[in-house]
Amino acid sequence: MMRQLIDNKKKLFFFLIIFLFLTTINFKINNSYNFISFKIKNINVVGLSSKKNNIIQQKLRIFKDRNIFTLNKKELKNILEQFSIIGSYEIRKSYPNTIKLKLNRTNFLAFTYLENKKYIIGENNKLITLENTSFNDLDLPLVFTNGNYKKFIQLKKIIDETKFDLNDIASFYYFQIDRWDLKTKSGLVIKLPEQDVKEAINRAHIMINDEKLNKFNLLDMRIKNYIITSNE
């Protein structure tokens, strides 16, 4: 009787060992399978030109074979910010192994020159190189800032708060004393003051749209409460 009880215990212990062994192996297999299944295999990029999408896609190849659950979005963001043409983007995970990126081009505001090279000023505060020759045909104003192109973005925000149409301006000239001259497509030059720029632009807009006052080719708004005009 005692011997039979010992044999039964041995059998129970044996089956317990087998069970633990099999479940451990099964866990390792499943865990390994899950890890492999969720490795990034595809990175889809859309939104820009085919050429630019492909260039960005190649840059993002470093994320391939990484686990999709632990995607480092900060690292991905740092790569995308290297491309000045990108204004915004969306990142989506398509399980089990695909990353989808929808890129949006920044708004083009104006042309400018820096070290004798022509660029586009983007609304994202960045300069965009003219990689695409068709960009040269865009109807954009020309900005002269001696490299201080971000000053133009500040001015553009002020103009947006007025009734003045940015599309009516052909060129912007920035002076180091921190003021601007604007030249409209009709040839009118508007000299803005250093202070109260918004007020000056609003007054200029009123004069330009007044039939009795819109025959001038110069509006000098630099002296507060005075407007100097010229039709020479």
Predicted pLDDT at 35: 47
pLDDT over threshold 80, residue 173: yes
- HSE-CB at 143 with a 13 A cutoff on CA atoms is 27
Predicted pLDDT at 5: 42
pLDDT over threshold 50, residue 2: no
Q: Where residue 134 falls among pLDDT bands split at 50, 70, 90?
A: confident
Q: What is the mean pLDDT of residues 116-141?
A: 87
pLDDT in tens, 69-127: 999 999 999 999 999 999 999 999 999 999 999 999 999 999 999 988 999 999 999 99
Higher pLDDT, 88 or 208: 88
Q: In sequence order, what are the residues at sequence separation of 6 or more whose Cβ sits closer than 8 angstroms to the Cβ of residue 206?
A: none
Coil, strand or helix: which one is 143? strand
How far apart CA 197 and CA 64 sit, in angstroms, is 51
Strand order in the sheet with 127-129: 127-129, 117-122, 108-114, 142-144, 169-175, 179-184, 189-191, 218-220, 228-230
- Could you give phi then psi for residue 109, rounded to 5 degrees? -105, -40
For the domain spanning 42-105, the CATH number is 3.10.20.310
Q: What is the mean pLDDT of residues 18-26?
A: 52
Predicted pLDDT at 111: 96
Q: Where residue 202 falls among pLDDT bands split at 50, 70, 90?
A: very high
- What is the pTM (predicted TM-score) of this model? 0.76
Closest CA to 198 of 167, 221, 173: 221
- Could you give phi then psi for residue 7, rounded to 5 degrees? -60, -40
Strand partners, 117: 114
Closest CA to 225 of 194, 190, 189, 199: 199
Neighbours of 161 (CB within 10 A): 10
pLDDT over threshold 50, residue 29: no
Q: What is the mean pLDDT of residues 47-71?
A: 93
Class of domain 108-230: alpha beta
- Please report, for the chain, the start and end positions of each structural domain, with discontinuous segments joined by +: 42-105, 108-230
Q: What is the mean pLDDT of residues 59-76?
A: 92
| CA 34 vs CA 11, 37, 49, 69: distances in Å | 34, 5, 36, 11
pLDDT over threshold 80, residue 4: no
pLDDT over threshold 70, residue 44: yes
How far apart CA 152 and CA 166 sit, in angstroms, is 12
How far apart CA 6 and CA 33 sit, in angstroms, is 41
